[in-house]
Structure 1
Amino acid sequence: MENIIGIDIGGTSIVGGRIEGDIIVAQVSADTHAQEGGEKTLDTLKGVIRQLMTIDTRAIGIGVPSVVDREKGIVYNVQNIKNWDEVHLKSLLEAEFALPVHIDNDANCFAYGEKIFGKGRDFENFVGITLGTGVGGGIIQDSHLLFDSNCGSGEFGEIPYLDSILEEYCGSRFFIRISGRSGYEIAVKAREGDPESIEIYNQYGKHISMLVKVILLILDPQAIIFGGSISRSFDLFSEAMYENLKNFPYPKSVDKIKILTSDLHNMGILGAGALCV
């Protein structure tokens, strides 16, 4: 059966999958070798692809945590991988495997993965937001990724907020900073009824409401779809989020917006693979 390959390159591991239809039928992971970087990481990536390729593979999609020249497939300034400051990844891999290669920022991949495989199928215009160590964003307009100049739109986490930026209050560092515990640990205690943990998630919901307000004011989409590890605790912060949206200057926008959480598993693989569709 005809298939595509989706690869999620992270600072710790490279995870890839072979996708047939909308199902991952094979999966491979390998250490990124980020501290060695350069050719070592590239060779690891090629090895993952070789393990997944079949004679029926028609394209390869790759998500990277950095800025990408989509047209030329050049990856710039990957902060967590040594000596990946300018990697002509598309041309290198197409020469190696004789297949079309599509590359984009990992947050954009998440958003497009939702459009092709997930809840985004119901919307023409939405924003996908990943809540994890960082806060990444991808924008879908007219059912396509927003084609910006430098692959940098949707980086709402970098917007100045309070004494820092939104990412410091909407990503995992928020929980570490105020309690010394991970968001997961606090979520466990909150579900056990611990008042302090419940209040921490109420505070987090207030900060998330600011992120939602920014998105509404800039893009006014049909939906926002949250993914990433913290989104699994949506039930713990959604009430506070909605409470703090009541002062938004355009209440009709709040009434109409759909705020959802992703139910895709292996979203990095599916998101990267979606670039091939």
Structure 2
Amino acid sequence: MSRVCVGVDIGGTSVKIGIFTTEGIIQKKWEIPTRKEESGIHILEDVALSIQHTVSEMKLGMEEIIGIGIGVPGPVVNEKKVIQCVNLGWENVEVADKMKELTGIENIKVANDANVAALGEMWKGGGEGYKSIVMVTLGTGVGGGIIADGKILTGSNGAAGEIGHVTVNPSETVVCNCDKRGCLEQYASATGIVRETKKALEHTDKDTVLKKAEHLSAKMIFDAAKAGDEFAKEMVENLGYYLGLALGTVAQVVDPEAFVIGGGVSRAGDILIKTIERYYDKYVMMALKNKTFCLATLGNDAGIYGSAKLILD
């Protein structure tokens, strides 16, 4: 086997790890639990030991690893230092230096998890073939990553690409998790569309199957819309409006070639993509219309692919 690189995606519950060839072919992937006790002091130790053990099992030497890329759920400065990861209990952690110390590998690069997911999708996923993409992840929250000319756009504090906190409704009174009001995440996440639908159900006289749902979910709303439920279709239109507005705003600044939509809500498929496209075109200038919108394809592996790609750039 030729020399390899390692992609690591540190999440609040588990750490995903993959070993890749320099051509981007995955050789092995696995997960370990994220030990968050004692302010997450054991996480990097666990990752290093797991990599060393697996490399040995594969009959490779650590000297055959050209580098380790790491995605973390928080802002990163200079591809090295994590300012804060609330989900991990980290504050001001020199991740790159610590991993160098633990593994003996010099080439360590660190980036925000949403950004590396976007990089992974550009490299080997839904955005393959493009060099400039915006990825939006629609899950419990709304994450985002911006790739410009093949490189992650990080910003001065590592916080660029936080698309979920673009303000789309200045009149909102409920506070978002980020302490602002009217963020995209409050409307376009899985929890957001459910929240908006529940509010609308209190005031509608329309007949809808959603009134009978004991535990309303985003999937139920999309399924009902696909089946022709007029009220559910209005809720999907509402979601598309907010996403189209926000992504139109982003496009006016970064002018990507394509948008890649991922996360659990993206499983709705074409109905979601077509609705976003329609509203997006309403909120951009002529030169930015008719962008490509596509679905992410790497799923939970996007982070390890993108982290590996950090090393190869």
Is TM > 0.5 for Structure 1 vs Structure 2? yes
- Tell me how far apart the structure 2 counterparts of residues 103 and 175 of structure 1 sit (CA, whole Å): 33
The aligned residue for residue 28 of structure 2 is: 26
Structure 2 spans left out of the alignment, 5+ residues: 173-181, 199-214
Aligned to 2:271, which of 236, 243, 259?
236
Q: What is the TM-score when the length of structure 2 is the normalising length? A: 0.79
Asked if the contact 1:5–1:52 (Cα under 8 Å) also holds between the matched residues in 2, the reply is no
Deviations 1:174-217 (A, max 9, x none): 13323453323434444455554444323211221112211122
Asked if the contact 1:7–1:273 (Cα under 8 Å) also holds between the matched residues in 2, the reply is yes
The aligned residue for residue 182 of structure 1 is: 217
Deviations 1:32-67 (A, max 9, x none): 123543223333323332343332322111101101
- Tell me how far apart the structure 2 counterparts of residues 191 and 44 of structure 1 sit (CA, whole Å): 45
The aligned residue for residue 3 of structure 1 is: 4
The amino acid of 1:158's aligned partner reads H
Aligned to 1:112, which of 116, 119, 136?
119
Q: What is the TM-score when the length of structure 1 is the normalising length? A: 0.88
Q: Mark the structure with the bigger radius of gyration.
A: 2
The aligned residue for residue 59 of structure 1 is: 67
The aligned residue for residue 297 of structure 2 is: 263
Residue 6 of structure 1 and its aligned partner are, at CA, apart by 0.8
Asked if the contact 2:44–2:99 (Cα under 8 Å) also holds between the matched residues in 1, the reply is no
- Tell me how far apart the structure 1 counterparts of residues 235 and 26 of structure 2 sit (CA, whole Å): 37
Asked if the contact 2:266–2:272 (Cα under 8 Å) also holds between the matched residues in 1, the reply is no
Structure 1 spans left out of the alignment, 5+ residues: none
Alignment identity in percent? 29
The aligned residue for residue 49 of structure 1 is: 51
1:59-208 matches, cutoff 5 A: 59-71=67-79, 73-82=80-89, 84-99=90-105, 100-146=107-153, 148-162=155-169, 163=172, 164-177=182-195, 178-179=197-198, 181-208=216-243
Deviations 1:90-124 (A, max 9, x none): 11111111112111001110222123223434223
- Tell me how far apart the structure 2 counterparts of residues 60 and 158 of structure 1 sit (CA, whole Å): 30
Residue 80 of structure 1 and its aligned partner are, at CA, apart by 0.9
Number of residue pairs aligned between Structure 1 and Structure 2? 274
Q: Residue 76 and residue 182 in structure 1: after superposition, are their counterparts in 2 closer, same or farther (change >3 A)? A: farther
Q: Residue 31 and residue 216 in structure 1: after superposition, are their counterparts in 2 closer, same or farther (change >3 A)? A: same
Asked if the contact 1:62–1:102 (Cα under 8 Å) also holds between the matched residues in 2, the reply is yes
| Segment of structure 1 superposing worse, 132-141 or 46-55 | 46-55
The aligned residue for residue 16 of structure 2 is: 15
Asked if the contact 1:8–1:106 (Cα under 8 Å) also holds between the matched residues in 2, the reply is yes
- Tell me how far apart the structure 2 counterparts of residues 76 and 247 of structure 1 sit (CA, whole Å): 38
- Tell me how far apart the structure 2 counterparts of residues 37 and 193 of structure 1 sit (CA, whole Å): 49
